[in-house]
Amino acid sequence: MGERDFRFACKACGKCCDGPPQMSIREMYEHLDDFVLQANLMTQPVKTPFIRDRESHELTQMIANRSLELGSLRHFAYDSFHGDPEVLTTLSGTALGYPHKRRCTVLTSEGTCGIYERRPNTCRYVPGQHLLPPDRQDVAMKEFKARMSANCDWSDDAPLVLKDGRFLDPAISDAFAKAEADDLMDGRLLELLVETDCEFGDSNGDFGFSFSDLVNKSARTMQVDLPIVFFTYFMIALRDEGLLPDVYNVPSPAEVASRQIAVCERLINENIRLRDREARPHTEMLREMVAINKSAL
């Protein structure tokens, strides 16, 4: 085998599910009953600052270039966290995890996925990384192997899954294609949200912010997370203007809030049942999310 060829077989141990999955905005609304969800704005410089480790520098720049190809918003932010005013911002969905356990919240006690048949697309192309070019997946495999070498089958008996940096498995290729389509759609959605610049605030006028405010904040802080119930108000505003693409199946804020409260309460009850002291910060975080969602009812 060449340096860019890999044999690999998943042992279904669940060890790589060490955090909450990222997902597209479309998927986020499909998993309202599975995860505590947030819309995520992530900003990074278009040109990666110098990193002493040349390999890490090239990898970071490769991801930035790929993000631009897949529809990230390229703009100028003169108070950028990175100092470089030309930045790119991506929009995606993410879920709250178990910070104290470093595991996904839908893993069962046996360590297997509790929603395997409807798992997010991100989980379907592990150990790949769709923000790397299709012919450079060997980079993702090397990084994954360094983290998970003891848990996966990398032996000569494992099937050949990567040849010349490209995945041979059609299921992974299909997952990559879906990820790219979702990224392009979410990139266009981000443009629409910025162009319309809808505002969100309470009925008393005590607070409020526009979507541009959030994008600018992400440039200053690198990342902004917005509970899905708040993000839904922006999506509804787009729909009211006739601008929301049909691919996004967005319920009312009240329905989103009710379903998210149910997920939070399920996880809170699980923490209480296990009597895990280390889970207290997680439980408090979930209670805060309950309060946030109740404000939308």
Asked if the structure places residue 247 within a domain, the reply is no
The radius of gyration of the chain's CA atoms, rounded to the nearest angstrom, is: 20
End-to-end CA, the chain? 59
Asked if the structure places residue 90 within a domain, the reply is yes
Domain ranges, residue 131? 6-228
Q: What is the mean pLDDT of residues 130-145?
A: 88
pLDDT score of 75: 79
Q: How confident is the model at residue 4 (pLDDT cuts 50, 70, 90)?
A: very high
Q: Between these two residues, 265 and 61, which has the higher pLDDT value?
A: 265
Asked if the structure places residue 89 within a domain, the reply is yes
Q: What is the mean pLDDT of residues 31-40?
A: 96
* 4: number of Cβ within 10 Å: 17
Q: Is the pLDDT reported for residue 83 higher than 90?
A: no
Q: Is the pLDDT reported for residue 173 higher than 70?
A: yes
pLDDT score of 47: 81
Asked if the structure places residue 62 within a domain, the reply is yes
Asked if the structure places residue 246 within a domain, the reply is no
Q: How confident is the model at residue 53 (pLDDT cuts 50, 70, 90)?
A: low
Q: For the chain, what is the domain count? A: 1
pLDDT score of 70: 82
pLDDT score of 162: 92
Asked if the structure places residue 237 within a domain, the reply is no
Identify the CA nearest to 182 among candidates 251, 266, 245.
245
Q: What's the chain's average pLDDT?
A: 87
Asked if the structure places residue 292 within a domain, the reply is no
pLDDT score of 292: 94
Q: What is the mean pLDDT of residues 283-297?
A: 93
Identify the CA nearest to 35 among candidates 297, 284, 286.
286
User: Could you report the per-residue pLDDT of 9-29, keeping only the tens digit for each?
Assistant: 888 777 788 788 899 999 999
Q: How confident is the model at residue 94 (pLDDT cuts 50, 70, 90)?
A: very high
Q: How confident is the model at residue 272 (pLDDT cuts 50, 70, 90)?
A: confident
Q: What is the mean pLDDT of residues 94-113?
A: 82
Q: What is the mean pLDDT of residues 97-102?
A: 72
Token readout for 72 is: 């990230």
pLDDT score of 68: 83
pLDDT score of 204: 57
Q: What is the mean pLDDT of residues 119-141?
A: 89
* 101: number of Cβ within 10 Å: 15
Determine the Cα angle at 166 with ends 160 and 172, to 5°: 75
Token readout for 140 is: 């993702």
Q: Is the pLDDT reported for residue 78 higher than 60?
A: yes
Q: How confident is the model at residue 127 (pLDDT cuts 50, 70, 90)?
A: confident
Q: How far is 261 from 126, CA to CA, in rounded Å? A: 30
Asked if the structure places residue 261 within a domain, the reply is no
Q: Is the pLDDT reported for residue 89 higher than 70?
A: yes
Token readout for 203 is: 């009925």
Q: In the beta sheet, which residues pair with residue 98?
A: 103
Return the HEC string of the chain: CCCCCEECECCCCCCCCCCCCEECHHHHHHCCCCCCEEEEEEEEECCCCCCCCHHHHHHHHHHHHHHHHCCCEEEECCCCCCCCCEEEEEEEEEECCECCCCECCCECCCCCECCHHHCCHHHHCCCCCCCCCHHHHHHHHHHHHHHHCCCCECCCCCCEEEECCEECCHHHHHHHHHHHHHHHHHHHHHHHHHHHCCEEECCCCCCEEEHHHHHHHHHHHCEEEEEHHHHHHHHHHHHHCCCCCCCCCCCCHHHHHHHHHHHHHHHHHHHHHHCCHHHHHHHHHHHHHHHHHHCCC
Longest Cα separation, the chain: 66
Q: Is the pLDDT reported for residue 229 higher than 60?
A: yes
Q: What is the mean pLDDT of residues 218-226?
A: 90
Is the separation of the CB atoms in 41 and 227 below 8 Å?
A: no
Q: Between these two residues, 100 and 70, which has the higher pLDDT value?
A: 70
Q: Is the pLDDT reported for residue 282 higher than 70?
A: yes
Is the separation of the CB atoms in 192 and 211 below 8 Å?
A: no
